[in-house]
Chain A
Amino acid sequence: MEGMSYARTPRVKIRELKDDYAKFELRDTDASIANALRRVMIAEVPTIAIDLVEIEVNSSVLNDEFIAHRLGLIPLTSERAMAMRFSRDCDACDGDGQCEFCSVEFHLRAKCISDQTLDVTSKDLYSPDHTVVPVDFSDPSGEESSEQRGIIIVKLRRGQELRLRAIARKGIGKDHAKWSPAATVTFMYEPDIHINEDLMETLTLEEKRTWVESSPTRVFDIDANTHQVLVVDPEAYTYDDEVIKKAEAMGKPGLVEISAKQDSFIFTVESTGAIKASQLVLNAIEILKQKLDAVRLSEDTVEADDQFGELGAHMRGG
């Protein structure tokens, strides 16, 4: 038995990759792994977010807790989060100060002194740590847009002021969604579509057209020259069964067979910008490994059972 292994070797193919977006194929594994990865990306990969706010002056139209909540939701660049400590585990501080291991301090000072409304945005948050800053959504091409000015926190009119100190900490989405690095993470089973060509050829061109059009998404099309029905985009299929029902209604059951491949998944990962989409996947794998390591049996549990086992064997053996 020793040395026996039932471990698989999954295959990956990245189709599209941008800083905050990744689309990839995952093969030779099962839905439990795909779903565990999805769940970990959403709820257990850590990021840094504002968690404690001390308001010095707030004469804006929004109340203190409303502003504190909005500050919490601002994504902060979190490449450092994996290596940081959770405040609750930090033994270098009491958890609410400027501790380099577990927190980052921000300051915001804004006062409107003109008749023009002043937008207070994420760009007004200052910290001495340049590795943890509000995510910059501006287009690198330099096009002037509303996003160029950051995320609006509150608007001030003449005479209104906002002054505060905020502490950002490491956290996970399971605690509060503000710490989730994932905007969306989805996966779908890769569809396997087989057209019964012989049966299809018993259809007239007009019947083929109505059948092709019965699909709510454009999965099939008709070749202009050969008038053959083709699968043009299998992944557009939403498992809606419409074409199968249509075939039955036309008196042609079995015209098409569609199944979901049980070991092939297409992932779409969108990041909030806190970490890159590719890093989000890698961090999720690492976190899942750490979780598995944490659920290993401890030595004393094994020893206790060995003793019990011997005793049991002794009793059974007489």
Chain B
Amino acid sequence: MNAPDRYERFVVPEGTKKVSYERDTKIINAASFTIEREDHTVGNILRMQLHRDPNVLFAGYKLPHPLQYKIIIRIHTASQSSPMQAYNQAINDLDKELDNLKSAFEAELAKHSSGY
């Protein structure tokens, strides 16, 4: 009877930020991003895209607990970049890739639909 509501998994509670940022206190150019109500879907694509950035020295994500509906992304970059810059770039690049994927799929779809 104490099960959490199903919507808790994807609705960000009022007064909570979707993304929060915390600098590492000991290492410069290292930071953690906490993303509320996201999981492996977003965590893993961001991690893999960050690995493609040569300025990124470390990028990883974790889902701390299956009942805590958030992920934490940790980024460490070289001095010419910053975790925030790398994070924004990764999102922009993924967005571009998905635009490219959409065009590629639609072009193929047009070929197949005309065949009917």
* A, B co-complexed: yes
Q: How large is the interface on A (under 10, 10 to 19, 20 to 34, 35 or more residues)?
A: 35 or more
Total number of B residues with any Cβ neighbor in A under 8 Å: 53
Closest to A291 in B: B42
Main secondary structure of the interface of B (DSSP, over half): helix
In Å, the complex CA distance between A238 and B98 comes to 29
In Å, the complex CA distance between A13 and B104 comes to 9
A56 at the interface (CB under 8 A from B): no
In Å, the complex CA distance between A5 and B91 comes to 11
Residues in chain A near residue B104, CB distance under 8 A: 9-12
Residues in chain B near residue A44, CB distance under 8 A: 41
In Å, the complex CA distance between A102 and B98 comes to 28
Binds B, one of A115-123, A183-191, A219-227, A281-289: A281-289
Residues in chain B near residue A294, CB distance under 8 A: 18
Given A289-B95, A292-B94, A175 contacting B101 (CB threshold 8 A): no
Per a CB cutoff under 8 Å, which of A14, A172, A291, A302 touches B38?
A291
Residues in chain A near residue B33, CB distance under 8 A: 297
A17 at the interface (CB under 8 A from B): yes
In Å, the complex CA distance between A305 and B108 comes to 44
Residues in chain B near residue A289, CB distance under 8 A: 95, 98-99
Q: When the two chains form their complex, are residues B6 and A176 in contact, meaning their CB atoms are under 8 A apart?
A: yes
Given A298-B17, A301-B20, A281 contacting B96 (CB threshold 8 A): no
Closest to B85 in A: A1
Q: When the two chains form their complex, are residues A9 and B97 in contact, meaning their CB atoms are under 8 A apart?
A: yes
Q: Of residues A5, A12, A305, which shows the largest number of chain B Cβ atoms within 10 Å of its Cβ?
A: A12
Residues in chain A near residue B18, CB distance under 8 A: 294-295, 298
Residues in chain A near residue B41, CB distance under 8 A: 35-36, 39-40, 44, 288, 291
Q: When the two chains form their complex, are residues B42 and A13 in contact, meaning their CB atoms are under 8 A apart?
A: no
In Å, the complex CA distance between A293 and B23 comes to 22
CB of A37 to closest CB in B, whole Å: 8
Per a CB cutoff under 8 Å, which of B10, B38, B46, B92 touches A175?
B10
In Å, the complex CA distance between A114 and B45 comes to 60
Closest to A300 in B: B17
In Å, the complex CA distance between A88 and B12 comes to 12
Residues in chain A near residue B105, CB distance under 8 A: 12, 14, 24, 278, 281-282, 285
Q: When the two chains form their complex, are residues B80 and A29 in contact, meaning their CB atoms are under 8 A apart?
A: no
In Å, the complex CA distance between A195 and B83 comes to 46
A interface residue numbers (CB < 8 A to B): 1, 4-14, 17, 24, 29-30, 32-33, 35-36, 39-40, 44, 88, 172, 174-176, 278, 281-282, 285-286, 288-289, 291-298, 301-302, 305, 308
**A-B contacts, 5 listed (Cβ < 8 Å):** A1-B55, A13-B108, A33-B45, A39-B41, A302-B84
